[in-house]
Amino acid sequence: MSGAALEVLRAGALTTVQDLGRPGYAHLGVPRSGALDTGAHGLANRLLGNPPEAAALETTLDGVGLRALTPVTVAVTGAPCAVRVSGRAVAWGAPVRLRAGAELEVGRAESGVRSYVAVRGGFAVPPVLGSRSTDLLSGLGPAVLSAGTKLPVGPPGPDPVSGADALRVPGAPTELVLPLRLGPRADWFEPASLAALWRAQFRVSSESNRIGLRTEAGAPLIRSRGGELPSEGMVLGAVQVPPDGLPVVFLADHPVTGGYPVVGVVPPGPPLNAAAQARPGVGVRFVRG
C-alpha cells in the first residue's frame, strides 16, 4: 500500500471496482467477472502507466463523485462524460492530477453506459481469488460502492508512455452488430428460424445488466424440439435462448452453467465491449461470425 486513497462522495447508480476478472475458476462455480468494456478499462490504465490488470472503477450511466485524500493522478475513459475537479472542467481521456482534498466529479454519460475511472497505482482493495473485481452474481469481491467508502491506492509504477491511443476508442454504438458463431445447440432450433436470425432486428432491453445483455422486440427463435437440457457450462459471449425465444448475450458476471440452449457464441473483443456501452432501445443484429 502507498498510503494514497480516495473517498466516495457520490456512489452513482452502480459503481463497482473491476479489473480483468478471475478466469479459471468456473469449475468451482465462480464467474469470470471483470470490466465489461475491456478496451476502455485498458486505455484508462495505459494513460496512467498502470499494468493492464490494475483495478479501476466502472460506473453506470450517472458517474461517480470522489475526494482525493492524498495527491493522486486519475483518468476517465469509456462512456464520454463531463469531468470536473472541484467545479473546474478538466480533460476526459487524459491524466488529471488531483491535490489532496480535491473533489473529482465524473458526470452522466453523454452516450454509452459505462465510464472507467483509473488511478495511478490502481485501486488496492483486497483481492479475492486473485482479482479485485466486484461480482454481482456471486457476491465475491468488494461491495458495490457507497458514499463514505475509502478506496486505497497502490504504489505508482513507471511513468506512462505519452501518446496513448485515446482516439482509437470507438464511440457508443447506435446499432449493435454482433458476430455469432453458431453452436453448440443451434440444432435445437428450426432451420427457418435460424435463417431468419440473420435478418432479425432486436433491441437492447432495459433489463440488461452485467450478467447479460437481454434483447426484445425481434422475431423469437423457434425450437425444433421440446424438453430441457441438463445444465452445461457457459462461456463469456454465449447467446442463450430462454423460453420466450429472445436471445440473451452473456457478459462478464454470467453464471458458469445454464440449462437453456446456446444458439451460438459472440467472440470476446470489440463486439462485447460495444455491448457493454449499448443503451436500452439500441438496435441489435447478429451476423455470421
Q: Using the structure block, give the residue that is written with the C-alpha cell 495527491.
A: 71
pLDDT in tens, 3-55: 999 999 999 999 999 999 999 999 999 999 999 999 999 999 999 999 999 99
C-alpha gyration radius of the chain: 20
Question: Which DSSP string corresponds to 185-246?
Answer: SGGGB-HHHHHHHTT--EEE-TT--SSEEEEESSPPP-BSS-S-PPPEE--TTEEE--TT--
Residue 104 pairs in a beta bridge with 66, 85
Residue 66 parent element (H or E): strand 64-68
Structural element, H or E, at residue 286: strand 283-288
In this prediction, residue 156 has a pLDDT band, given cuts at 50, 70 and 90, of: very high
Full set of structural domains in the chain with CATH: 5-168 (no CATH), 175-288 (2.40.100.10)
Overall average pLDDT of the 252-271 stretch: 96
Predicted local distance difference test score (pLDDT) of residue 2:
73
Whether 265 shows a pLDDT value over 90: the answer reads: yes
Residue 67 backbone phi and psi in degrees, to 5: -120, 130
Model pLDDT for residues 161-212, shown as the tens digit of each residue = 666 555 566 667 889 999 999 999 999 999 999 999 999 999 999 999 999 9
116 falls in which pLDDT band (50, 70, 90)? very high
Question: According to the model, what pLDDT value does residue 165 have?
Answer: 58
pTM score, two decimals? 0.95
Please list, residue by residue across 228-256, b when 16 or more beta carbons sit within 10 angstroms of its beta carbon and e when fewer do: eeeeeebebbbbbbeeeebbbbbbbbbbb
Is the bond into 184 cis (omega within 30 degrees of 0)? Answer: yes
Res. 160: pLDDT tops 80: no
